[in-house]
Amino acid sequence: MEIKRLTLFAGHYGSGKTNIALNYALWLKKHAPSLTLADSGPAVSPRVTVADLDIVNPYFRTQDSAAWLKEAGIDLIVSQYAGTNLDAPAMPKETYGLLADRTTYGVLDIGGDDRGALALGRYTDEVLAEGNYEMLLVANKARPLTRTVRDTLEVAAEIETACRLPFTGIVNNTNLGPDTTAEDVLSSIAYAEELSKVTGLPVKMTCVRQDLYEELKETIPNLFPLNLQKLYYMLNE
Amino acid sequence: MSEKVLMKGNEAIAEAAILAGCRHYFGYPITPQTEVAAYMSKKMPKIGGTFLQAESEIAAINMVYSVASTGKRAMTSSSSPGSALKCEGISYLAGADLPALIVNVQRGGPGLGGIQPSQSDYFLATRGPGHGDFHVIVLAPSSVQEMADLTAKAFDLAEKYRMPAMLLADGTMGQMMEPVVLPEPRQTQADHSWAVTGTKMEREHNIINSLYLQPAELEEKNLERFKRYETIEKEECLWEEFMMEDAEICIVSCGITARVSRNAIVEARKQGIKVGMIRPITLWPFPKKALFDAADQVKAFISVELNMGQMKEDIELAIRCKKPVELVSRVGGMIPSPEEVLNAIKKAAGEEE
């Protein structure tokens, strides 16, 4: 995938945006060229900032990953109320700084559905003016409200209407959490391709859990391995 | 419909309710259960159902009362402060012997409390949520799969015994995502000859009411209801036993803390400590007999809860205080770590570090 300065992940809630955003930020940190002249030596890693614009759901957020992000040298912009008991949809002021600072890669985690994407609308003019961005539709065929191309298009249209920023690509993130098999991912390829055909947008990435990556990397183009950051107590040992 | 889907707990409740034939949802948004309403708002119009965001929780529960009166499956959902508001209406449902599903995805309290997970409405749910002598059936899911399965079960039980049922989940259960096999679509098989559906001039009027002018008649109604409760206590208790065969310590926990406890039990077993768990799935009726029987086998119980020890009281009652019951608890939206539970297990086993 061609690297743009700003990468925005949007989609139906629960489609996996936060996890992909975190993994992509880490990938950028390791592989992307630095954007600053002062840091232009080959050994210098680029500046990367993750901005959590999900102000709708106060439960699972990038905040939970704050510790390892810091360790990886990735900056995090998140509502000061994340993880607290205050259910206040407040936008962090630092997001404007990220949009203005073109020496930093920005990975933006957009809230779920149209309601979550509404918050992005505030920055749409700046994003469009700079013109160096990918707006990616994250889709998971195993989610009940995006099981068909038709339902997914409905969600995508609602998001575009809410934030006024058209999608530029698709991320196929079909998964069943820890139960995902290679077969599940393979069986979603046709769905992603049809989604691509109908929208005219390329499938920029297909995401898989790290342990399935080796098995599938020859078969699926643009395969992107994910390390799951948000693990909860599993029922079965 | 045996294919797996990846769902949030709250979505699983909504979809399972629809599959169970519920076409009438009334609610009012509150974190952390809002996805139930959001899902219903998207899905109900597509299948000819009713989604209505009421002006308040009190209005919503009374709308449930009216639909339930017609013998149709109706539900509402909320989180702790909103569930407290519904209590008056739940009492009226119980008094009129109406089946209905009330979902409570608990958050921290008291008062406005917080939005993070809690199990502090245990008393509210199990002691009859509202005024008067009554019970509701209380089901406590511990996985997203159970969020779906127990929603369907709650509708069935409510109808079978003509009483309200409450799905009592914690915020984590509502928000977490797991693969689910959705239950088969079903329609109610129960007898609805009591419902108000229009007499067509062919039968006597059915009357849905909780007001009785004669004290003796009201007493009779209460006694009849408690006879039904006796049957339920005898026949409908649900619980799961985990590694109990040779256990010397018994953890009792439900919802998210049962999962944390499970991790701790596996770790303790590796260290040679014989510990198991009885996980109540119905909180009312409470699995008293399973616990009473376990009291002869184990030397101690540990109650793991997201409250100050509300279920601990039920455990002590169930085992007639035969053995000590320790408490591991976090409140205010915090969840105990497996290490905290493991430490309590070690302490109970006499291996204090």
Q: What is the pLDDT of residues B169-184, one digit of tens each?
A: 999 999 999 999 999 8
Provide, rounded to the nearest whole percent, the portion of chain A with pLDDT above 70: 89
Q: Token digits for B166?
A: 């409450």
pLDDT > 50? residue A234 = no
Whether A100 and A72 have beta carbons less than 8 Å apart is answered as no
B288/chain A closest Cα distance in angstroms: 24
pLDDT > 60? residue A236 = no
Q: Is B183 on the interface with A (CB under 8 A)?
A: no
Query: Which chain B residues are closer than 8 Å to A19 by Cβ?
Result: none
Q: What is the dihedral of CA A141, A147, A153, A156, to 10 degrees?
A: -60
From chain B residues 67-106, the ones with a CB under 8 A of any chain A CB are none
- Give me the residues paired with residue B280 across strands: B239
A180/chain B closest Cα distance in angstroms: 9
Instruction: Give the per-residue pLDDT at A237.
Output: 32
Query: Which chain B residues are closer than 8 Å to A237 by Cβ?
Result: 262-263, 266
d(CA A66, CA A76): 7
Binary contact (A58, B115; C-beta < 8 A): yes
Domains identified in chain B and CATH numbers: 4-187+211-235 (3.40.50.970), 239-348 (3.40.50.920)
**Across B99-181, where does the E strand assignment appear?**
100-106, 137-139, 164-170, 177-181
Q: What is the pLDDT of residues B245-280, one digit of tens each?
A: 999 999 999 999 999 999 999 999 999 999 999 999
Q: What are phi and psi of B114, to 5 degrees?
A: -155, 180
Length of chain B, in residues = 353
The pLDDT-based confidence of A116 (bands split at 50, 70, 90) is: confident
Q: What is the pLDDT averaged over residues B148-171?
A: 97
Q: What angle separates helix B9-19 from helix B34-43, to the nearest 10 degrees?
A: 40
Is B234 exposed, middle or buried (CB count within 10 Å of its CB: 0-12, 13-18, 19+)? exposed
Q: Looking at the partner chain, which of B6, B114, B266 has a beta carbon nearest the beta carbon of A85? A: B114
Give the position of tokens 């909504």: B14
Find which of A207, A233, A235, A236 to mutate to test the B interface (most B CBs within 10 Å of its CB): A233
Category of A78 on φ-ψ map: left (φ > 0), alpha (ψ -120 to 50) or beta: beta
Q: What is the pLDDT of residues A186-225, one digit of tens each?
A: 999 999 999 999 999 999 999 999 999 999 999 999 999 9
Q: Is B108 on the interface with A (CB under 8 A)?
A: yes
d(CA B40, CA B13): 10
Domains identified in chain A and CATH numbers: 6-226 (3.40.50.300)
Query: Which chain A residues are closer than 8 Å to B183 by Cβ?
Result: none
Least confident of B73-77, B157-161, B265-269, B348-352: B348-352
pLDDT > 60? residue B103 = yes
d(CA B9, CA B6): 10
Length of chain A, in residues = 237
Query: Which chain A residues are closer than 8 Å to B179 by Cβ?
Result: 142, 176-179
Least confident of A83-92, B78-87, B100-109: A83-92
Instruction: Give the per-residue pLDDT at A38.
Output: 62
Instruction: Give the per-residue pLDDT at B189.
Output: 75
Binary contact (A177, B115; C-beta < 8 A): no
The pLDDT-based confidence of B187 (bands split at 50, 70, 90) is: confident
Least confident of A60-69, A214-223, B139-148: A60-69
d(CA A86, CA B183): 36
Mean pLDDT value across chain B: 96
The pLDDT-based confidence of B1 (bands split at 50, 70, 90) is: very low
